[in-house]
Amino acid sequence: MTIEIWVAIISGAVALTSATVGTYSAVLSARIQREMEVRRHRVRKEEEIENVMSRFREPFLRAAFELQTRIHNIVDTDFVPRVSGDGSHAEPGYVRSSTLFRLAQYFGWVEILRKSVQFLDLGDQERTRQLSDKLDRIGLAFAETSSYPESAVFRLYRDEQRALGELMIERTPGAARELQCMNYVQFVEELETNPTFSRWFGRLSGEIDALADASPGHLDRMVKVKDELSTLLAFLDPDGVRFPSIHPGDSLRD
């Protein structure tokens, strides 16, 4: 073959190689761009979730701890007959109203978390899955009926839990998108003056009044809820930095 033909063949091969490399580089570049965008989206999502959790972690933990403390004192320290009869509170219905408040406050913060982080959809993070599982187990302890006698108090089906939570949510003044939970003073006012509000607590209120003389099996559900709350608190505050662990026999100020 002549030199001209060899030059043409080599030139063609070089051109073909260049085109192939160029195509591969473009495909690779597009793939890298997509992967980087996915990674950036994931990082933004995680930062957003962490921001939400950092703002709400403390009040949510406190709500869970306060409910756990009250249930512990009811189950383990005869709290209801002891406090109801000792005259230590000016408000005669303190045990009833404060117990209802702690119950509703917990569900209020659960609902705020759901709304604020899109129902706790944090992608495929293992820690998110674990948190969702623990919240679900608490919800199940309230809702399940097959494991407890009919006399067991505090039965709340899933939609009832959501309803109590929604009743407790307020918008933060001056920040329309910020949510917070109703305080105790507001709760008692609504409970005493708003029939639409108080009707959601009618049955629970009667059950709390009956705790002063609890029958066998009456507290079984509360024991399970207390245990699940302990698991949740240990998960979110593993070293007990914010709130101490509660053990059977502990006498807690409430």
The vertex-141 CA angle with 136 and 144, nearest 5°, equals 105
Give tens-digit pLDDT for 127-164: 777 888 999 999 999 999 888 888 889 999 999 999 99
Q: What would the two tokens of residue 221 be?
A: 């559900």
Distance between CA 129 and CA 106 in Å, rounded? 20
Q: Which of 2, 5, 3, 25 is nearest to 13 (CA)?
A: 5
Rounded mean pLDDT of 51-69?
Answer: 83
User: For the purposes of burial, counting CB atoms within 10 Å of the CB of 162, is it exposed (0-12), middle (13-18) or buried (19 or more)?
Assistant: middle
Over 80: is that where the pLDDT of 73 sits?
Answer: yes
Query: What is residue 43's predicted lDDT score, i.e. its pLDDT?
Result: 65
For residue 243, the surrounding DSSP H or E stretch is none
The residue with greater pLDDT, 34 or 1, is 34
**Average model confidence (pLDDT) for the chain?**
80
First to last CA, the chain: 100
Ramachandran angles phi, psi of 175, nearest 5° = -145, 90
